[in-house]
Structures are given as structure tokens and as C-alpha cells.
Amino acid sequence: MGVLRRLPLDHVVEATLACTIVLFACGSSSVPDLFRFGGPARWVGLAALGVVVFGWALVDGRRPRRLPGAWLLAAGFVALCLLSAAWSVSPRLTVERTATLSVLLAIACLAAVAALGREDGMAAVLRGILGGAALVAVAGLLVLAFDHHAAVQSADAGSGWRFRGLGENPNTSSMLFAVALPLTVWLLAGRSRREQLVGAALGLLFSGSIAVSGSRGALVAGFAGAAVVAASLPATRRARAVLLALVAVVFVVSGVVSKLPKPVSLESTFAKPRPAQRKTVGIDLQNLIRLEDEIGRPPGGAYRPPQQRRFFSFGARGAGWGAGLHQGAKRPVTGYGFGTEGRVFVDRSSIFLGGLPENSYIGVFLQIGLVGLLLFLALVGALARNGVEALRRLPVARRAQPVVAGAVLLVALILGIGQSSLYSVGNIATVSIWLCALALPMLLEREVRP
């Protein structure tokens, strides 16, 4: 114990968390070499983070007065996920996915216990998330400099080119940057000039990366969380109004930038020579239409122009959501087993392309049924209530970290509408989300405890 106390554990936690976030980004990268390295390395990073956080809680932790209700709901959710292996279509996969989720939630709870006994609370965790997100953003710019094809998704008839940086697709890294945006406003609201400059620089880096990715969900979610922090932390009304106006201006500019890349014209698309079709015997329908695109196709194969992405349109995603709900309704109570979403979801829509329904709430329903969805909603509802209590009960000078953690939870809940991510530990943003969300009860207790 004496050796642990002499170590700068807050800096160790900060560095380990940042490295773990980068490894998770590599595990979902468009660069093949990074993907092969990051796939197994991210789990090593998660294990290392667990060891470091355990030591941190052992040294600096303080026993809570009682176990938070949200933590008990999280334990119940994990228990139901494990129980679903009994009826899962892939029991081994269910057990594996439940195990990784259990490890992550345990690490988040240990970090929260450590924050309860520290004067600066979760500052090391927040700095680690910011550092990891900054490294991922800079790495994306390096990928752009050395491999433009890997960093940019080409324009098509439906949308303009989209920046994906280090991520597998334009939405991957953007989720992490959306989670980090409220943290940059936390720095901007600080008293240190250095922190304010770092916050401004990181805010522009993250918002710019999201804007050129064209990720609408990340843009709305990130700035919603940033607005909550801007409206809650500055000491005076004037400072809050200025910071909130700044967030609004950057949001509008980012939205305009996201619409600048234009889709390619249909004339240029059809002017390109078509690849020769393979010779077949008889009629091969796959040459005429992909069989998985049969639903929603115009009768007789009539021409229909491609749907262009609009900021407030959910045409393609809506088709995926409908397919997920329809399939989940076949097992409405128990679902198909936790972690099996990618195995059981079938996309047969002509306008939706994806192996998941791209909605975390529908994904939970598909995997562990209505019971699991209600339990999950109760969990996030209990955590959200802690965030509201922090705003209601704490003075401005003491509400910073609870408000930031609540803002991250808000970002996650909005992201969950358009992404199947909140329960997938391998997702680039999931570690950061749960480290902040499960700390909410302890951060609130820390500030109100005599």
C-alpha cells in the first residue's frame, strides 16, 4: 500500500485511459495494419486499465454510504444478459459479450469509488478521455496526410465525401469526439488561462472533425452535451450566456460545413463504364438486384433516384429500425440473447445498408427482449436523475464534474438513437461513456456528503 501511495496514480490512470481509447480506435480502424493490431490489443488495454483503476480505488477510494440504485440496476442488467445465454442463438458469444461488459462496468464503479475519496474527483478520468480523443483526432489527420483513400469516404449519388480519419466509417471516431465535446467546455469554463486555451483548441479540433465526417447524430449529441455544460458551469449569467452563444455559433458553423461536400451527379455516375457482368446459365436475379435489397424496391424494377442525406431525415435508418422491431417482435419477451444482434439482424431493405439496426434501444430489445429494454431504460433513467439532482442541489462552484458526467450521459443517449453502441464494449466511445455515467452517483454523494 505504501508503494502505491507514492505513485502518481492519477497521472497513471490518465495515461492508461488515453492509451486504451487509442487502442480501441485502432481496433475499429479503416487502416488494415492498425485494425489487425488494435483488435486484440484493445482488450489488453482494457485489462491494464482495470489493474490501474483497482490500485487507484485501493489507495484513494472511500466507502460509499450505500450502493447506488443505478449500480444495482446495472448489476441486474448484467445478470439478465448472462441469463440470456440459456436461450441465446449463440450461447458462447453471449457469455463473452457479457463478460466484457461486466469488466467495463466494474472498472467504471471502481473509478467512481476512487473519485469519492479524492479532492479533485474524476479529473484524471476526464483528462484521460480528452487526451485519448485528441490523439485519435490527430491520428486521423495523419491518416489523411499519408493515405487519403483510407481517411475519406468517397462521394456517391446520395451524399458527398465524408471524413472518417482513423475510424472504420465516418460515424466511428465522431462518436468519441461527441463524448469529448462537453469536456472541452468544462475546460473553457475553468479559471486557468491555459485550460481555456486547451479547451478552445480541442473544441475546434473535435467539432471540425465531426463536421467534415457528416455525422449528424454525433453533431447533435455532442453540442447538446456541450450546451448543458455551458449553461451550467460559469459563475455568472453573463459568462453562461457568452459561452452558450459560442457553443451555438460553432454548432451552426459545423452544420453548414457538414453540408458543403456535394453528392456526385447522376450523369457522371452513369457515364462511368459498368463492370462486365459474369456469364450465367439461365436467369441470375443477383445480376439484376441484390436479393437482400428486395423490400422497398419499386415494382418492376422501375428507376428511383438515390435518396440524398438530409440533416433531419431518417429514411434509411428508419428502414433499419423497422426491420429490427419486426424481428424483435418474434421474441418480444426474451430476445435472441445478449451480443447476438449482429448474428440475427437481417437487412432486406433496398435503402438501408447495415448489419445492425443502428439503434441501441432497438438493439437491446432485439437481444434481451422487452424485459431487458425496460431494465436498461431504468438504469439510464436512474443515472439521469443523479445528473438532474446535481443541477438542482449543488451550487455552481461544486457542480462541475457531476454536470460534465451528466452531459456525457446525455450525449450517449442521443447517440444511441442512431447507433448500436451503448452496450458494445468494443465501440470506440463506450469505455468513456460508462466511466462518466456510473460515476454520477458517487460524484453527487461526494459533493453533498458532510
The pLDDT tens digits for 88-129 are 999 999 999 999 999 999 999 999 998 887 777 889 999 999
For residue 259, what is its C-alpha cell? Answer: 453540408
pLDDT at 348 over 80: no
Structure confidence at residue 429 (pLDDT): 93
Q: Are 125 and 408 in contact (CB under 8 A)?
A: no
Q: CA of 327: how far to CAs of 283, 341, 345, 349, 372, in Å? A: 31, 11, 7, 13, 16
For the entire predicted model, the pTM comes to 0.87
Structure confidence at residue 303 (pLDDT): 46
- How confident is the model over 256-314, as pLDDT tens digits? 998 888 777 655 544 455 555 555 555 554 454 555 555 555 555 554 555 555 544 45
For residue 157, what is its C-alpha cell? Answer: 449519388
Structure confidence at residue 344 (pLDDT): 84
For residue 149, what is its C-alpha cell? Answer: 483513400
Rounded to the nearest integer, the mean pLDDT of the chain is 84
Give the HSE-up count for residue 248: Cα atoms under 13 Å, Cβ half-sphere: 7
Of 413, 71, 379, nearest to 228 by C-alpha is 413
Of 166, 248, 180, nearest to 213 by C-alpha is 166
Residue 135 falls in which region: left (phi positive, over 0), alpha (psi -120 to 50) or beta: alpha
Q: Are 383 and 438 in contact (CB under 8 A)?
A: yes
Give the HSE-up count for residue 422: Cα atoms under 13 Å, Cβ half-sphere: 29
* Grid cell 449463440 in the structure block, residue: 90
Domain residue ranges in the chain: 2-262+357-448
Of 277, 134, 146, 138, nearest to 203 by C-alpha is 134
Q: What is the DSSP letter of 89?
A: S
Instruction: Return all residues near 394 (Cβ < 8 A) that are at least 6 apart.
Output: 402, 444, 447, 448
Alpha-carbon span 224 to 408, nearest angstrom:
10
Structure confidence at residue 347 (pLDDT): 67
Structure confidence at residue 292 (pLDDT): 52
* Grid cell 433496398 in the structure block, residue: 350
Of 212, 218, 215, nearest to 151 by C-alpha is 212
